[in-house]
Structure 1
Amino acid sequence: MASQTNRKEHIIFKKGFRIGEPEAEADGLFLRTCFVNNGIIEVATATDSRQCILLGRTGSGKSAIIQHLIENHKNVIVINPERLALSNISNSSVLNFFETAGVHMDSFYKLLWKHIFTIELIVNKYNIRNTSEIPRLSQILSGIFKPNRDKATAFDYIKQWGDSFWIDEEHRTTELTRTLEKRLEGNVGADIYKKAKLGVSGLQDLTEQQKQDIVQHGQTAIVDKKQMSSLENVTEILSKNVFNDQNSPWYLCIDSLDDDWADDKIRFKLIKALLETIKSFRCMENVKVIVTMRVDLIESLFERISSPGFQTEKFSGYLLPIKWTRAELTDLLSKRVNYLFEYKYTNQDIKLSEIIEKKMNGKQSGIDYILDRTFLRPREAISFFNTCIDIAEGHPFISAEYIKKAEYNYSNERVKAVCEEWSRQYPYLKYFLDVVRNMRDGVEVAHLMNDRFKEYCERFSDIAKKEQFPFSDEAANSYLDTNQYGLTFMQSILNVLYKVGVVGLKLSPNTQRVFSFSENMKIEKHHIEKTTKVYVHKAFWIALCIKSPDGL
């Protein structure tokens, strides 16, 4: 065992010791005490900065940042998409009927978000928590909105909603949806509306002329210029008269967009409308919308969107990528280790270097060894370190032996985690991993296209047909003629493995090895050639039985 000089002998890792939890929702105590600010907070909260979409992969700290804002800043409103009952929109037979007919719903979705933001600001500003507070709210808003005709029109927009609307988040979305359905009924007439209530099936017996009429009249109902104008007036008046203190900004935070709060069919359309609403809502200079999004979600969003006028590059200035350096993650682990022992039984400062191996195999430190097996994200560093503590139970020191033992569990968990993280986009990822399983790190693509790959192609083709995965034909063709078709299928496989971070690629002798999560370099399939070298990330070496390039 390596030298353990300067170790505090009274320190013992006991059963249940942890340096926090990988998920922010369960990490309250350590998150509050040991938060490491890597500069994101200042940018995210700056109302004069457009950057408001906290972009990162699972475990990068998005939810932790929102939690930190809630606990350390005033005027923070958290909007949970699931509590808004947005699934009611996808479940509406009437709206499905009109959208399938060809009516564009984008204007309604944007109105919905702006409506939600505005009402949330009013409710939280004046602390409306039950219906008994409604008369007080009406009196306050009356004084703000009534002095002239424009303000009176804006006040009419607010007055039209019932008392429960101000208390129940779900009711707000439902009420706005019902209002739209009534307008649609008025525009198309009773006979067509009866068919609309049947949903998509109601379109089956309609003539092309009837469908065109439905689109024309339906679109008029969707784009209600009077309603939009009134809501614009409301936000303008609130900006000038209520939310006008530069020293007291307000934040609308939206987390959990990655969850299943609505069917994918409608979810991506609502997220697209959210992004567009964020741009227009910047008219309220002292209010900032902050959204967390996973990288795979926004990539899927941009791939699916094809509507006119929506240019993905226009949103690049709103993105705030979350990146961590090794020094920042070391600081994070150090603070948590020190707090663990301070919290458990000692007031002494415990340095990270005092309780973990300084040299692994006579080379790098134990901390560097751990960080090499992460995507440089807090969740992975915390998870690996907790596993090390479990292995070191009853001992005062995390030795190289314990780190190596912990790596077995950690590596297998990382394989499960990456497959779960990308399950929506790549449900076949676990099968693609078999292509690099047991390989020697750093081999050329040509080396992978062997008899084993030919057998794999036959096996995957059968699985893809059964599970209705893509690439079934590519796999079948590769099996029949690997020389002619094998590279095409291999390019598809490695392109996916690169995107999710499992492999890094060295495209040519003159280029560096790159991993997608660290370099943010987009590599297309056609960039990958037979001479491209493939490197599996060290987080997966144990689980995938990867052989070291030097044979050790």
Structure 2
Amino acid sequence: MTSSGVRGSNFSIGGEQAEADPLLKEAFYESDDYRTVLSKEDPRCFVIARTGSGKSALLQHLEEEHAEHVVRVAPEDLSLSYITNLGIMRYLDELEVSLDPLFIALWKHVLLVELIRHRYSVDSYAAKMNFLTSLRDKIKRDPAKRAALDYLEEFQDRFWVEADERVREITEKFEEKINREAKGAFGVSDNPIGTATATIGGGLADTFSTETRRELTDRFQRIVNETQMARLNKMLKVLDEDILESRQNFTYVVIDDLDRDWVDERVANALIRCLFRAVLDLQRVRNLKVIVALRTNIFENLDFGHRTGGQEEKFRSLSLHMRWGPAELRDLVSGRLRIASAKQGVQSSSISDVLPRRNTTRGDAFDYMLGRTLMRPRDIIAFVNETFAMSSGADRISWEDIKNAEDSYSYKRLLALRDEWKMSYPDIDRIFSVFNGAVVPMPREEFTRRIDDAALLLADPYFRGSEWLDYLTASMWNNPGGTWADWYGPLVSLLYNIGFIGCTTGRQGTVRYVRTFPEFAERVSNLEATVGFTIHPAFQAALDVRLDGLRGQ
């Protein structure tokens, strides 16, 4: 190994995303969060974090390190979009029939079968018969368990095919029940509802009287509720006591990518909420841990309150909110630097070896860079890679390299912030743009003027965020007697909670950001007490934000 410090011009400390990170396996940082997920005793199983916080990397490493004990379920492989597009589902939705019991049963079914297939390597008819014979012999003295096992036989050979086909099988059986009910007592149609596309499209449910509608809803709701299936729930007891009965058979199920386009957005939240409820039921299986990774904004929009029978507190108690501290991120970067440098024959023990030395004017270079991130691995890895690109393989990175890299880095982070939130808030980048050229910290008057400009985007026919912006600014137009916090609070809270702005209160002028003060913007008194606002340093260069009349330091 040489000590010349010469690195290639394309040197980097790895990729920003788990699926494109060549150093993930070698340089994975085993944080406290990872150890929590790995723990067989810690019940926290919902991994909640902002994009770029390392959720996928955590699950991928778990899968690689414990391959024999991990089952991965990919949402896009479950044909759930097929289900939600069925005419019968739209029909039941028109009648306001809750489909939650059906969705919960589907999740339980998929997870149960995947666990059995994994535990017994069931990949053929012969393997299936061997498994059933062995299990029947084990539970032959328990009538309830024997009845539960009949549930597996009900699906015959299709029980063991790919997950999407099994989901379709259950849905087809459910559809048949609804069709029989509709054609029977009420004479809704001579044809199965699922095939009466034109009638459904015309709003079939709206043609009924209030009394008939209520009676239909009650009748169909009973059918939906039955899909919880007593035998399916009893199979969970078999899973606990007879399939995963030993600690050596402890199994993790990992479910990720729930933020991708795996299903129609209309029902994505309902399906995820039902997954959480299914996982809650599966907590009774002692040697099983189902781990679900989910972005923070999706988790907060799941509407647990009135749809889960008061179980919101349980979900939150089982949630692990991933957060990174400065020391952890420094260790993560230094570890990656050591491994990446060694591959090029260069010796580096820490990030301090390659950054400019601390000085009284600018302070610590890594702290400076970290202050321009949202304290996530993806941010700091991206910034460090940009500085190496600017240094062109030099022995040591200079302050000039860092400042030059900051322009490109900041622009990409602003785009990433837009991409993270654009599904919920289309054209949110138009809001960011109204702060172009701002001088920070902004007194409330200046900040208010810019927020007013943002609100005026409602008059722009090309602005695609009218629905959400109108909702957040409604008090500005309709509540003339309100306070400043009444008028501007909703939009300020959004910008604060996504990490775009910070708030200053009191004489000391301490800037509060969502990472360290996550509940700050939720209190009206805090917003009323805010005297200044600033754009987060991560985005200042991209927006040409200046501090005291100079380029943001």
Give yes or no for TM over 0.5: yes
Match of 1:37 in 2: 30
Match of 2:337 in 1: 337
Matched, 1:120 2:122: no
Match of 2:283 in 1: 282
C-alpha contact (below 8 Å) 1:507/1:532 kept by paired residues: yes
Counterpart CA distance in 2 for 1:102 and 1:477 is 31
C-alpha contact (below 8 Å) 2:447/2:533 kept by paired residues: no
Q: 1:207 to 1:367 in 2, by over 3 A?
A: same
Match of 2:395 in 1: 396
Q: 1:521 to 1:236 in 2, by over 3 A?
A: same
Deviates more, 1:389-398 or 1:184-193: 184-193
Match of 1:501 in 2: 499
C-alpha contact (below 8 Å) 2:47/2:320 kept by paired residues: yes
Matched, 1:427 2:426: yes
Cα deviation, 1:369-411, whole Å, max 9, x if unaligned, reads 1111111111111111111111111422211111111100000
Quote the offset at 1:453 in angstroms. Answer: 5.9
Q: 1:436 to 1:508 in 2, by over 3 A?
A: farther
Deviates more, 1:426-435 or 1:86-95: 426-435
Match of 1:218 in 2: 220
Q: Letter of the aligned partner of 1:15 in structure 2? A: S
Match of 1:63 in 2: 56
Quote the offset at 1:487 in angstroms. Answer: 6.6
Give the alignment's Cα RMSD to 1 decimal.
2.9
Q: Letter of the aligned partner of 2:283 in structure 1? A: R
C-alpha contact (below 8 Å) 2:324/2:375 kept by paired residues: yes
Match of 2:322 in 1: 322
C-alpha contact (below 8 Å) 1:446/1:531 kept by paired residues: no
Quote the offset at 1:48 in angstroms. Answer: 3.0
Cα deviation, 1:22-68, whole Å, max 9, x if unaligned, reads 001111x4111111112112222333322111111011110111011
Match of 1:5 in 2: none
Match of 2:42 in 1: 49
513, 516, 540: which is aligned to 2:511?
513
Match of 2:437 in 1: 438
Counterpart CA distance in 1 for 2:10 and 2:508 is 49
C-alpha contact (below 8 Å) 1:360/1:400 kept by paired residues: no
C-alpha contact (below 8 Å) 1:250/1:286 kept by paired residues: yes
Match of 1:3 in 2: none
Counterpart CA distance in 2 for 1:285 and 1:475 is 49
Quote the offset at 1:305 in angstroms. Answer: 5.7
Counterpart CA distance in 1 for 2:193 and 2:30 is 52
SS of the aligned residue for 1:523 comes to: helix
Deviates more, 1:32-41 or 1:376-385: 32-41
Match of 2:74 in 1: 80
C-alpha contact (below 8 Å) 1:48/1:285 kept by paired residues: no
SS of the aligned residue for 1:212 comes to: helix
C-alpha contact (below 8 Å) 1:130/1:167 kept by paired residues: no
Match of 1:359 in 2: 358
SS of the aligned residue for 1:252 comes to: strand
Counterpart CA distance in 2 for 1:480 and 1:98 is 37
Match of 1:307 in 2: 307
Match of 1:462 in 2: 460
Quote the offset at 1:140 in angstroms. Answer: 3.0
208, 227, 233: which is aligned to 2:210?
208
Cα deviation, 1:317-374, whole Å, max 9, x if unaligned, reads 111011111111111111111111211234x454322222123674322211111111
Quote the offset at 1:456 in angstroms. Answer: 5.2
Q: Letter of the aligned partner of 1:196 in structure 2? A: I
Counterpart CA distance in 2 for 1:345 and 1:289 is 42
Q: 1:461 to 1:541 in 2, by over 3 A?
A: same
Matched, 1:97 2:85: no
SS of the aligned residue for 1:122 comes to: helix
Match of 1:192 in 2: 188
Counterpart CA distance in 2 for 1:152 and 1:175 is 23
Q: 1:46 to 1:457 in 2, by over 3 A?
A: closer
Q: 1:529 to 1:32 in 2, by over 3 A?
A: same
Counterpart CA distance in 2 for 1:253 and 1:341 is 33
Write the mapping of 1:365-404 to structure 2, written as runs, cut at 5 A: 365-404=364-403
Q: 1:215 to 1:424 in 2, by over 3 A?
A: same
Q: 1:64 to 1:243 in 2, by over 3 A?
A: same
Aligned residues: 540
C-alpha contact (below 8 Å) 1:474/1:485 kept by paired residues: no
Counterpart CA distance in 1 for 2:24 and 2:546 is 37
Identity %: 25
SS of the aligned residue for 2:502 comes to: strand
C-alpha contact (below 8 Å) 2:457/2:463 kept by paired residues: no
Q: Letter of the aligned partner of 1:278 in structure 2? A: V
Q: Letter of the aligned partner of 1:544 in structure 2? A: L
C-alpha contact (below 8 Å) 1:55/1:322 kept by paired residues: yes
C-alpha contact (below 8 Å) 1:491/1:525 kept by paired residues: no
Write the mapping of 1:158-307 to structure 2, written as runs, cut at 5 A: 158-189=152-183, 191-192=187-188, 194=191, 196-197=193-194, 198=197, 199=200, 201-224=203-226, 228-302=229-303, 306-307=306-307
C-alpha contact (below 8 Å) 1:487/1:530 kept by paired residues: no
Q: Which runs of 5+ in 2 are unaligned?
A: none
Q: 1:431 to 1:486 in 2, by over 3 A?
A: farther
Deviates more, 1:378-387 or 1:159-168: 159-168
Q: 1:459 to 1:81 in 2, by over 3 A?
A: closer
Calculate the TM-score normalised by the size of structure 2: 0.90
Write the mapping of 1:126-141 to structure 2, written as runs, cut at 5 A: 126-131=120-125, 133-141=127-135
Quote the offset at 1:104 in angstroms. Answer: 1.6
Deviates more, 1:128-137 or 1:158-167: 128-137
Q: 1:42 to 1:297 in 2, by over 3 A?
A: same
Quote the offset at 1:80 in angstroms. Answer: 0.8
Q: 1:466 to 1:76 in 2, by over 3 A?
A: closer
SS of the aligned residue for 1:189 comes to: helix
Q: Which runs of 5+ in 1 are unaligned?
A: 1-7
C-alpha contact (below 8 Å) 2:355/2:397 kept by paired residues: yes
Cα deviation, 1:432-474, whole Å, max 9, x if unaligned, reads 2134332222222123234x66555444432587653334498
Quote the offset at 1:412 in angstroms. Answer: 0.4
Counterpart CA distance in 2 for 1:87 and 1:171 is 13
C-alpha contact (below 8 Å) 1:62/1:292 kept by paired residues: yes
